[in-house]
């Protein structure tokens, strides 16, 4: 059994939102954008699908609009959070 085709629907939506260049972005650095994506995704529910069309086909326009709003809100919150903590010293989580 292969799980390679399974993914979280919100991953692509958050990536698209970041590539659109929302207000508040301070850099296009991959680490910075990855931090924002992780913080945003952790605010959203997991919606695992094999194909995005499988989810979209069964959704009403209102549900799609609500999901768009949830993604936009999560990305805005993540940008604010990462910007506020960007210069904080990160704790060591692995002993070397």
Q: What is the pLDDT of residues 63-81, one digit of tens each?
A: 989 999 999 999 999 999 9
Answer with the residue of higher pLDDT: 2 or 8.
Answer: 8
Residue 64, token pair as written in the block: 């799609």
Q: Which residues pair with 48 in a beta bridge?
A: 8
CB atoms under 10 Å from CB of 45, counted, come to 10
Q: Which of 51, 42, 40 is nearest to 15 (CA)?
A: 40
pLDDT at residue number 94: 59
CB atoms under 10 Å from CB of 67, counted, come to 19
Q: Give, for 62, the enclosing helix (H) or strand (E).
A: helix 61-85
If you search the block for the tokens 């609500």, which residue do you land on? 66
pLDDT score of 25 more than 70 = yes
Q: What is the pLDDT of residues 38-60, one digit of tens each?
A: 999 999 999 888 887 777 778 88
Residue 56, token pair as written in the block: 């979209």
CB atoms under 10 Å from CB of 39, counted, come to 19
Residue 35, token pair as written in the block: 């931090």
């Amino acid at each position: 059994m292969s799980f390679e085709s399974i993914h979280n629907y919100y991953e692509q939506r958050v990536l698209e939102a970041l590539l659109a260049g929302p207000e508040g972005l301070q850099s296009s650095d991959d680490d910075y954008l990855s931090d924002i994506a992780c913080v945003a995704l952790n605010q959203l529910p997991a919606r695992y699908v094999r194909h995005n069309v499988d989810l979209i086909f069964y959704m009403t326009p209102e549900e799609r609009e609500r999901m768009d709003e949830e993604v936009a809100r999560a990305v805005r919150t993540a940008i604010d959070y990462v910007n506020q903590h960007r210069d904080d010293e990160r704790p060591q989580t692995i002993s070397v």
